Structure 1
Amino acid sequence: MRATTVLVRGPNRRRRRRQALLAAAVCMVLVATLVVGVLGYQLFTRDHSDPLRPADAIVVLGGEHDGREDYGLELAAQGYADTVLISDPYRPYQPSERELMNRVCDASTDTIEVICFAPQPSTTRGEAMFTQQMATARGWRSVIVVSWRYHLVRARYIFGQCSDRQVIMRGVPRSYARSPESWAYTYAYQYGGLMKATLLGCNA
Structure 2
Amino acid sequence: MSLTTPGYRPPAVVENRGMGRRRAVVRAVLGLALLALLLSSVTAIHLVRAVFFPAVDAPRPEADALMVLGPADAKLAEAARLMGQGQARVLAVSDQDRRSPTPGTCRPQVVAELERLGWIPQEPDHLLCFRPDPVTTQGEAMVLQQLGAEHGWESVDLLAYPEHISRARILVDRCWNGEISYLAAPDGPAAQGADAAWDALWYQSGALVKAGLTTGCEERLPFWLEEFGRRL
Distance 1:118 1:105, change over 3 A: farther
Q: Which amino acid aligns with 1:82?
A: R
Question: Residues 30-109 of structure 1: matches in 2 within 5 Å?
Answer: 30-52=37-59, 53-63=61-71, 65=73, 67-90=74-97, 101=110, 103-104=112-113, 108-109=120-121
Q: Which amino acid aligns with 2:67?
A: V
Out of 146, 165, 169, which is 1:133 matched to? 146
Q: Which amino acid aligns with 1:189?
A: G
The 3-state SS of whatever aligns with 2:63 is: coil
Matched residues, number? 195
Deviation at 1:193, TM superposition (A): 3.4
Q: CA–CA distance in 1 between the matches of 2:123 and 2:169? A: 28
The 3-state SS of whatever aligns with 1:173 is: coil
* 5+ residue gaps, structure 2: 100-106, 220-232
Q: Which amino acid aligns with 2:144?
A: T
Instruction: Report the equivalent of 1:202.
Output: 217
* 5+ residue gaps, structure 1: 93-97
In the TM superposition, what whole-angstrom CA distance separates every residue of 1:3-30 from its partner, at most 9, and x where no partner exists?
A: 42152665x6665455434322321221
Q: Which amino acid aligns with 2:27?
A: A
2:174–2:216 contact (8 Å) kept in structure 1: yes
Higher relative contact order (CA 8 A, sep 6+): 1
Q: CA–CA distance in 1 between the matches of 2:206 and 2:52? A: 13
**Does the alignment pair 1:2 with 2:11?**
no
2:76–2:114 contact (8 Å) kept in structure 1: no
Identity among equivalent pairs (%): 24
Q: CA–CA distance in 1 between the matches of 2:35 and 2:71? A: 35
Q: CA–CA distance in 1 between the matches of 2:150 and 2:98? A: 27
TM-score by length of 2: 0.70
Deviation at 1:127, TM superposition (A): 0.9
Deviation at 1:91, TM superposition (A): 6.9
In the TM superposition, what whole-angstrom CA distance separates every residue of 1:122-168 from its partner, at most 9, and x where no partner exists?
A: 11121111112111111111111011212212212222111112111
1:105–1:115 contact (8 Å) kept in structure 2: no
2:98–2:131 contact (8 Å) kept in structure 1: no
Distance 1:137 1:110, change over 3 A: same
**Does the alignment pair 1:25 with 2:42?**
no
2:80–2:114 contact (8 Å) kept in structure 1: no
Q: CA–CA distance in 1 between the matches of 2:22 and 2:95? A: 59
